[in-house]
Structure 1
Amino acid sequence: MSQELHRSVLLREAVDALVTDPGGFYIDGTFGRGGHSAAILEKLDAHGRLLAIDKDPQAVEFARERFGNEQRLEIWHGSFAEMDSAAADRRGSVSGILLDLGVSSPQLDQAERGFSFMQDGPLDMRMDTSRGMSAADWVNSESEAEMARVFKEYGEERFARRMAAAIVRRRAEKPFERTLDLAEVVKAANPAWEKGKHPATRVFQAIRIHINGELEDLQRALDAAMDLLAPAGRLVVISFHSLEDRMVKRFIRDKERGPKLPRGLPVMDSQIEKTLRAVGKAVKAEAQELGDNVRSRSAVMRVAEKL
């Protein structure tokens, strides 16, 4: 397999925040093309261990090619939402968990993966091509109302109903099979293009999030992290759109505050069970990285520590 160029976003910042014990056990929930994993391994000593997870079969194959002889690394094919199963024997002893929620450059750049509205390819968009419904299956069968809901909720698309109606009208004549075909229909249905943004951007994002269950997986992964992390273990999450970042921010905030109690209950703040603390403020890419990698412009990193 060719080693497609992929620059891991916030590489130094993420790994520095994550690795506090060189001999600890760490989880990279999104291996991608191994940028973060390689940097983590550089910081680990001979006793340190890393579990790398990815749902993309191509990423898993690449990991086995690149790191096949690395004794400190275990590769696991699946979603990071299932990391509690992948690391079941490590409950309460994990030193750090990294979740990079971005789509990797090879996924975006390979037309045959069907993620891109800029290149023509089969309308697929599945992270795990070995299972699940493709984007084509979904847009050719879903109800207009549900499509509009997905576009509005996951794409934050103002013209969701108009775009869903256009898709339903067109598919009655001919089913969608190709990415550029869908992009053109959405483009024509968008009456107000945003400067510097392709008019199909939000719809493609929404479909990808929906068919891959990305937000549901993220919530499951955050919950699993609480069981897996050891006291003082770090959770590092890099988000690339506001829906994810809001989820992560709210999760950390709620765990910092502890369970909600009835007003007036005679309980001191020190008696409330709090399970996380935020470490620093949200981190964004610096000017040099922004210049080198345009995909870093929307990245936001949040770090929390298990109490």
Structure 2
Amino acid sequence: MAKNKQKEKLVSTSTSQPADYHIPVLLHETITALNIDPGGIYVDATFGGGGHAAAILKALGANGRLVAFDQDADAARNIPENDDRVLFVPQNFRHLKRFLRLHGISQVDGVLADLGVSSHQFDEAERGFSIRFNAAMDMRMDQRQPVTAFDILQTYTEQQLHKLFEQYGEVTNARTLARTITEARGRVSLKTIDAFKNVLRPVVKGNPNKYFAQVFQALRIEVNQELEALKELLEQAKEVVRPGGRIAIITFHSLEDRLVKQFFREGSFEEKEENPFVQEYREKIFKLITRKPVTAGDAELKINTRSRSAKLRVAERI
């Protein structure tokens, strides 16, 4: 019942979080690029620690509104206190259109999504996101979801694991890694991070920390269906963002960035076939505001190392 209450009403509760819960990346660049209308409606699709949301609210006037999505229950603790302009939706942003309509909103003036895992999530050992701690192989952003990283390691075939680590982690010896896991899981428990890393040590290529990070990234993407969710968000943005409104996406690895770049340019995820004898007309859906991705400057890199892999792309709905 409490969950439904949180979903259905304008938010008026809050608890304080540590100042270092999460440092928002490319904050100034993102807010500037959104070109915020003080009376507009904006969506922060990845509310997290609320850093980007706070900057949007600062730019909004009394009649502006912010709809904040986040599937991680911890994010609800960061909702600003007594601000009736904020509506918090405790759901994955892949349900953007559905929950906007549920609250009587058909179109918005802008959408922001920061696709990185928050510093808070990495620092919460029990969540299983970080290779620094020993914890359960979990990696779920939304604890209501049933499938964990352990479930994937235990049930996927060797072929499925090979494809997973090759595509989502760009692991150089993905085939060997997949075989190692399937051979080990019948005799060794893979329930914890340390146990999993111990199984992998004989096949680690190059820098161990980098190798484990690639493996964990692949598992996290699969557990949370991150690329599928991103595609759904972008497709819905075509209908949800009104003409003249903008969508800003911050990515942290090439898989996400390629999807965003393709969609902003073509309005779809279908690769365009080059045929000199056929002239295919495709209606333009977005105007590129950033021809090249915006990256962090030296000043930001010094205070937030996490920003080094961040890329911001912004487009305007035509």
TM-score by length of 1: 0.91
Q: CA deviation digits over 1:13-64, x for unaligned, max 9?
A: 111111431110000000011000111101000010000000111112x13x
Moved over 6 A (4+): 258-263
**Which position in structure 1 is the counterpart of 2:36?**
20
Q: CA deviation digits over 1:139-181, x for unaligned, max 9?
A: 1121111111100011111111111111122211122111122
Query: Any idea what SS the aligned residue of 1:225 has?
Result: helix
Q: Distance in 1 between matches of 2:138 and 2:100?
A: 30
**Which position in structure 2 is the counterpart of 1:198?**
210
**Are residue 232 (structure 1) and residue 244 (structure 2) matched?**
yes
Q: Distance in 2 between matches of 1:202 and 1:84?
A: 32
**Are residue 151 (structure 1) and residue 165 (structure 2) matched?**
yes
> How far apart are 1:132 and its partner, in Å?
2.4
Query: Any idea what SS the aligned residue of 1:130 has?
Result: coil
Q: Distance in 1 between matches of 2:239 and 2:271?
A: 16
**Which position in structure 2 is the counterpart of 1:304?**
315
**Which position in structure 2 is the counterpart of 1:246?**
258
Check 1:172–1:8 CA distance in 2 against 1; reply closer, same or farther (3 A cut).
same
CA contact (8 A) 2:36 2:60 kept: no
> How far apart are 1:199 and its partner, in Å?
2.2
Q: Distance in 1 between matches of 2:40 and 2:130?
A: 38
**Are residue 67 (structure 1) and residue 77 (structure 2) matched?**
no
Q: Distance in 1 between matches of 2:47 and 2:309?
A: 20
Q: Say what the alpha-carbon RMSD is for the aligned residues.
A: 2.2
Q: Distance in 1 between matches of 2:144 and 2:271?
A: 40
Q: Which residues of 2 match residues 75-90 of structure 1 at below 5 A?
A: 75-88=88-101, 89-90=104-105
**Which position in structure 1 is the counterpart of 2:5?**
none
Check 1:145–1:80 CA distance in 2 against 1; reply closer, same or farther (3 A cut).
same
Unaligned 5+ residue runs, structure 1? none
CA contact (8 A) 1:19 1:95 kept: no
Percent identical pairs in the alignment equals 40
**Which position in structure 1 is the counterpart of 2:24?**
8
Q: Distance in 2 between matches of 1:15 and 1:98?
A: 9
Task: Say which is worse superposed, 128-137 or 247-256, in terms of deviation.
Answer: 247-256
CA contact (8 A) 2:108 2:242 kept: yes
Q: Which residues of 2 match residues 1-307 of structure 1 at below 5 A?
A: 3-4=17-18, 5=20, 6-60=22-76, 62-63=77-78, 66-88=79-101, 89-91=104-106, 93-190=107-204, 192-194=205-207, 197-255=209-267, 273-280=283-290, 281-307=292-318
Q: Distance in 1 between matches of 2:223 and 2:124?
A: 19
Check 1:45–1:2 CA distance in 2 against 1; reply closer, same or farther (3 A cut).
closer
Query: Any idea what SS the aligned residue of 2:183 has?
Result: helix
CA contact (8 A) 2:36 2:59 kept: no
> How far apart are 1:253 and its partner, in Å?
1.1
**Equivalent residue pairs, number:** 297
CA contact (8 A) 1:76 1:86 kept: yes
Q: CA deviation digits over 1:203-258, x for unaligned, max 9?
A: 100000001000000000000111001111001000000000000001111139x9
Check 1:260–1:201 CA distance in 2 against 1; reply closer, same or farther (3 A cut).
closer
Query: Any idea what SS the aligned residue of 1:87 has?
Result: helix
TM-score by length of 2: 0.88
Amino acid across the alignment from 1:50? L
CA contact (8 A) 1:25 1:94 kept: yes
Amino acid across the alignment from 2:133? Q
